[in-house]
Structure 1
Amino acid sequence: MNKTNKNIYYLALGAFILLLIAYANHFNNGFHFDDSHAIVTNTFIRDLKNIPAFFSDPKMFSSEPTHWGLRSLVTTTLAIDYWLGGGLYPFYFQLDTFIWHIGLCILLYFVYKTLMRKSFQAQWVPYLAFAAAAWYALHVVNGETLNYIISRSDVLSTFMIVLSFLIYINWPSKRKYLLYIVPAFLGVFAKETVLCLVITLFFYILLFEKDLSVGDLFKPKNFKTILLVIWQILPLIIVVGLTQVYALTRIKSVPGISNPLVPYVLTQSYIWVHYFISFFLPFNLTADSDLGVIHNPFDERILIGCIFVVALLVTIIRTSIKSETRPIAFGLIWFSVALLPTSLAPFAEVTNDHRMYFPFIGLMLSVVTYAGLLIKRYYYVFENKRNFYYLFFLLFCILGLNAYGIYTRNKVWHDEESLWQDVSVKSPLNGRGLMNYGLALMDKGKYALAETEYKEAAKLVPTYSYLYINMGVLCSLEHKNTDAEQNFKAAIALAPNDFASYTFYARFLMDIGRTTDAQAMAEKALQLNPGSEMALALLLKIYNQLGYWDQLGKTAKQYLTIIPADKFAQQCLQASQTHQRVVIQSMTKVIKPVTAEDYLNQSLDYYNQGDYNKCIEASNQALKLKPGYADAWNNIGAAYIKLSQWDKAIEACKKAIAINPGHTLANNNLKFAESQKKK
């Protein structure tokens, strides 16, 4: 190992340690946004035997029909994570994405070194390549991709693109074996962006192997050369193209396409400016922006965007003329090409910060190559070694600040409440963001705050069906059954073909004892989404309760095809033959309660399985250990409500409120019990 390689090795080790420190607080960050349907409720990732089917059945990518797709490589890695962790433990999912990211950055070092040597020969080029790879590894913006687990599609597809590209440029004598096509082929099953590899390879050959500039493309004398370049990469075009066609033909439509094309594309010019600025000033990052399509073509943001795009094209053309600046041109081409898929397909979101992961590879090449040319031009300044140390100190500051930024953003991504609170502050006009923040608050029992967020969201997105589902759930938790039903019906009216509205409405109807009505809603939900675990689970309980043995048997078999080891479904299948109802028991086992909190959890367990007397007993045990335990009194009140013993319920709720006047659940339970007593 020569001195340079040895130094690079030690520098890489230092960068790796810094990377670990930056992401140390991210490994237990939870599931967010689309993770819910692609991971949490996606039962197919819970069995490795499903892996072969991932490559042919788009339904296995998501539990929601509107998100079905063929990102088989992503689903495969998620299934492996689930298997390794033995369940939905975020650590294994986050670690997996992190490892792929490290692998990508190692590949980038060799890519950058090869491309920069096309510009100039110097012994310090490897250090320049290291600086680029390390900066990319620690760039704050990339943390948005790594924290968002389902965005592994960006990481995997980018990894495969870079691996194919590296094989092609570093081993030209091996091209005849077409090995560079293999990673690209796999990458198609991660994300559609792999098609960008075809364009980037075309320009690589044109600039670096044919010694032509971008301007030479328009000269008639070079037409034959262009055809030869296309012929050279034709095997890649065929394989990637056909594979992509196969993937697209497996689905009915591309998920998320909902905006008008022309205004969307014009808006993207401004988004490019936003992405470019974010490379240098990665501030105000948000998981869900409130920026929408700009419909006025004369809006100043559109004008700024168009000027930027023209300036970008001019820069590409000018820097592609000289060989020493061609890596700058190629990097800008990479940046532009990588943005094309999300710029031409009119997705519902005009911008997402995780979309910068792939394009920033090219932009990093351009920026660091330009810095290298400056060093080369003013190399005499660095004859004094002290100035070199200043340069390394500058790099250390850049990496250190980015590491600090990542560590800070990881805190935001920790859970749903912290993430969506950040979104509500930075994107106050995002109705979906406000709704999700309300949902996070509702999950933590902060009902009054959740209701406030829902009302604000309704002003911004009055036709968003999921908002009304969540408002219905909130009203049901507060025992406002009339309001809850109105909200569920509103959700169905807004999205009559969405299974989610019917599913949650069915659960609500079952909870209030309207089992027959719940059956109709659950069956409708299952009709719209035959793979819905929630709809199937509801129907198992409904058919079991009503004694509909034939339907129970069929549903149990259908459920067991999704989760073969589910005990309740197995019991239901047996019950369909013996005609004896299954007694629903808790899946939670408290071996020996020790603390008041243990008894409280046990009381909740009994409450959920419908054993309200035991719920009261466990709560009383908690009160013996902790007399001023408001939650225990509230559980007693809730249990007495289920038993229709209104006086005892009122007494228990009042005791909870006397201890904690702001106890939302106790206040709501008290109001409900008092209203029922009057009736």
Structure 2
Amino acid sequence: MLTKFTSQKLELKILIAILVVTSLVYLNHFDNPFFFDDVHTITQNESIRSLDNWISFFTNADTFSSLPANRAYRPMITFMNAIDYAIAGDLNPYYYHYHIFFWFLVLIVLVYILSKHLYRLSLPEYNWIGMTALFATAWFALHTANAETINYICARSDSFSTLCIVSSLLLYIHPFGKKWHLYIITMVIGIWTKQTGVMFVPILVIYILLFEEHSLITNYKTDTKKKIIHVVKKVAPAMIIASFLFIFNQYYLTPKTTDSTNFTVTRFEYISTQWYVIMHYLGNFILPINLSADPDIAIIKPWYDLKIISGLLIILGMLFLMVKSALKEKLRPIAFGIAWFFIALLPTTLNPLFQIANDHRMFFPFIGLFIAVPWGISLLLKETRIINKSKSQKTNIIILSALLLIGHAYGTIQRNKTWNSEDSLWLDVVVKSPKNGRGLMNYGLTHMAKGNYDTALDYFNRALEFAPNYYTLHINLAILYGATQNHSKAEEYFKSAINLNSNSPSPEYYYGRYLSKQKKYQEAEKHLKKALKNSPNHIQSKQLLANISNLLVNSEKEIKDLEEKAKNEPSLDILLNLSLKYYQNKEYQMVINTSKKLLKSHPTSSVAFNNMCAAYNQLREWELGAKACEKALEINPDYQLARNNLKWATDNIKK
């Protein structure tokens, strides 16, 4: 028989083995790129490029994102992103993944400590407590669903806030941490990581009720008021500070531009749909074969739809099991785990969000299931005496457990591969979530990057069916049409993107980039300034605006040089170049004056007549423009540009 010391030594070795195996399983994920919200929180966010003003991360939510609508107050995430950028020296995802994975390993250890503690409180004489806790820990470490959170850099808000909640509970459990209220510190860090950190308070209440003041549940008729007051006193410090922080963060530190609540659906429609979403999450816990980086679950109507009713029945069944388990001491880890699961889901279940479901939201709630389910299985094996039977039975249990863990390890490796590139990730989304407009658009982008414009356009048009008012999709359609030289369509979609979104810098930035490529620098400058007005931290707009400013300065210098040359030597080439520079600077009257001057010495210059035509058209003097283009075509009937400008003029004359 093993002594206590030997058993602890063996458990430590197994725990280290779990950490090593987990590291090997995730070995192929460290070079996975930035995705989704990583763009506006990291790659386009100037705030993280320096740690000099790190205090501003905690006082100004604008530093969190370059998109005004996405500026949640999560200063710890901005701080960690800035640290990773400082260490890497640039936007290298390796360092972000290393940092996230380090804390994931720490969380794995804490899950082991917490689960073992809860099991020991419930059934101290049980010999398989350590092994059950190790199995729960290994299952959590290798579970395929967790790969969604660990691969997605911006989802460090989920993994790190969960770490803070588990740490807070363990610090409360420890006499020293409870005496000096050290658990408050980690709770505050968790709330600063993500507002869901406030869920530590109800989790703490459940822990106190089940494991410290359980007589309130089993013997509620005696001294109930006194017991409730005792519980309130225990939880009061965390509750007061968490409530204050949540209200202060939400109503004072979160900018008014932040758009997190979906008002296009009713609260009941959203909550009732979440009953099905919870069933979807549970399905991924049991068999994670339908994981998608961007699920296409939409609002389900009516409320009595079979999907909603099925989800509701499962929820009621779990709540019934939770209550029944709470009444028996040895089953309390099951009750605690189920309660944790539902408490962790409350923030995304009650507040209508634009994205109905998201697989990285499972990370925090699943901690509860990793505590409850292994303990339930272990007790079932104990009660049926399978665990105490022959060696072959024990061997079978070990083999089945190993097969489950191997299956999840393999699944995690495959999910890491899926997250390895834009192409593989969005293909996976399109296959599993075919009604997701964003997924279709992003997969179209992978084809556009390869020059497959027809295929890209097909996916963009399919995306329009599901997301007709998605401004990013309109931007990408504009970029595609610009790349295929369909400039009228490009202009149309750039303008519709701007109309669809009033506070994001992206429509103005991409339109400005397009205009700068057309050498319409002054117009581009105007849109880039609008982009920076919406988002002062949008680094791409700043860089492009600086480049355009330099080009404008150089252009003015070129004009002055050409004007000086034209005085001394009014040659055909110099005057044509000068009129072109005037046109690029929108000095249309100067284009006309220069062209007239050129025609005095070169009356058969079709280019000069065409330049006059284009300038007249810009001034909306359509008849003068038409006459100039007709002259150009008399001189050169094959001059296509003059023919296009003439059509521009005549079309407007007809109007």
| Structure 1 and Structure 2 fold alike (TM over 0.5) | yes
Query: What's the counterpart of residue 246 of structure 1?
Result: 248
Query: What's the counterpart of residue 135 of structure 2?
Result: 131
C-alpha displacement at 1:315, in angstroms? 1.2
Unaligned runs of 5+ in 2: 562-638, 645-655
Rounded to whole Å, the distance in 2 between the matches of 1:149 and 1:546 is 39
Q: Sort the Cα spacing of 1:468 and 1:220 in 2 relative to 1 into closer, same or farther, 3 A.
A: farther
Query: What's the counterpart of residue 26 of structure 2?
Result: 23
Matched, 1:260 2:263: no
Rounded to whole Å, the distance in 1 between the matches of 2:336 and 2:541 is 51
Q: 2:398 aligns with which of 392, 400, 403?
A: 392
Query: What's the counterpart of residue 565 of structure 1?
Result: none
List per-residue Cα deviations over 1:389-445 (Å, max 9, x = no partner). Answer: 322222211111000000011111011111111111111111111111112222233
Contact 2:62 2:255 in 1 (8 A): no
Matched, 1:162 2:170: no
List per-residue Cα deviations over 1:352-390 (Å, max 9, x = no partner). Answer: 100110111111111111112123223365342332232
Query: What's the counterpart of residue 97 of structure 1?
Result: 100
Query: What's the counterpart of residue 11 of structure 1?
Result: 14
Contact 1:213 1:317 in 2 (8 A): no
Query: What's the counterpart of residue 226 of structure 2?
Result: 224
C-alpha displacement at 1:216, in angstroms? 6.6
- Report 1 or 2 for greater relative contact order, CA contacts < 8 Å, sequence distance ≥ 6: 2
Q: Sort the Cα spacing of 1:141 and 1:174 in 2 relative to 1 into closer, same or farther, 3 A.
A: closer
Query: What's the counterpart of residue 414 of structure 2?
Result: 408
Q: Say which is worse superposed, 258-267 or 490-499, in terms of deviation.
A: 490-499
Contact 2:216 2:227 in 1 (8 A): no
C-alpha displacement at 1:174, in angstroms? 4.6
Q: 1:197 aligns with which of 178, 181, 200?
A: 200
Query: Which amino acid in 2 is paired with 1:458?
Result: L
Matched, 1:233 2:235: yes
Rounded to whole Å, the distance in 2 between the matches of 1:255 and 1:143 is 28
Contact 2:216 2:224 in 1 (8 A): no
Matched, 1:451 2:451: no
Is the partner of 1:479 in helix, strand or coil? coil
Q: 1:85 aligns with which of 84, 88, 96?
A: 88
Rounded to whole Å, the distance in 2 between the matches of 1:26 and 1:435 is 24
TM-score by length of 2: 0.81
Contact 2:66 2:536 in 1 (8 A): no
Query: What's the counterpart of residue 75 of structure 1?
Result: 78
Rounded to whole Å, the distance in 1 between the matches of 2:70 and 2:534 is 13
RMSD, matched Cα: 2.3
Contact 2:382 2:388 in 1 (8 A): no
Query: What's the counterpart of residue 315 of structure 2?
Result: 309
Query: Which amino acid in 1 is paired with 2:68?
Result: P
Query: What's the counterpart of residue 330 of structure 1?
Result: 336
C-alpha displacement at 1:256, in angstroms? 2.8
Query: What's the counterpart of residue 53 of structure 1?
Result: 56
Contact 1:212 1:321 in 2 (8 A): no
Alignment size in residue pairs: 557
C-alpha displacement at 1:508, in angstroms? 0.9
Matched, 1:63 2:69: no
Q: Please give the residue correspondences for 1:336-415 in structure 2 after superposition, counting only pairs within 5 Å.
A: 336-379=342-385, 382-415=388-421
C-alpha displacement at 1:676, in angstroms? 6.4
Query: What's the counterpart of residue 469 of structure 2?
Result: 463
C-alpha displacement at 1:221, in angstroms? 5.0
Rounded to whole Å, the distance in 1 between the matches of 2:524 and 2:88 is 35
Rounded to whole Å, the distance in 2 between the matches of 1:382 and 1:224 is 44
Is the partner of 1:547 in helix, strand or coil? helix
Query: What's the counterpart of residue 618 of structure 2?
Result: none
Q: Please give the residue correspondences for 1:388-537 in structure 2 after superposition, counting only pairs within 5 Å.
A: 388-537=394-543
Rounded to whole Å, the distance in 1 between the matches of 2:513 and 2:7 is 65
Q: Say which is worse superposed, 52-61 or 119-128, in terms of deviation.
A: 119-128
Contact 1:213 1:321 in 2 (8 A): no
Rounded to whole Å, the distance in 2 between the matches of 1:220 and 1:476 is 76
Rounded to whole Å, the distance in 1 between the matches of 2:159 and 2:73 is 16
Matched, 1:320 2:326: yes
Q: Sort the Cα spacing of 1:675 and 1:465 in 2 relative to 1 into closer, same or farther, 3 A.
A: farther
Rounded to whole Å, the distance in 1 between the matches of 2:56 and 2:159 is 22
Q: Please give the residue correspondences for 1:500-649 in structure 2 after superposition, counting only pairs within 5 Å.
A: 500-547=506-553
Rounded to whole Å, the distance in 1 between the matches of 2:551 and 2:59 is 37
Contact 2:47 2:537 in 1 (8 A): no
C-alpha displacement at 1:467, in angstroms? 0.6
Q: Sort the Cα spacing of 1:508 and 1:173 in 2 relative to 1 into closer, same or farther, 3 A.
A: closer
| Larger Rg over CA atoms | 2
TM-score by length of 1: 0.78
Contact 2:61 2:255 in 1 (8 A): no
Q: Sort the Cα spacing of 1:227 and 1:293 in 2 relative to 1 into closer, same or farther, 3 A.
A: farther
C-alpha displacement at 1:537, in angstroms? 2.2
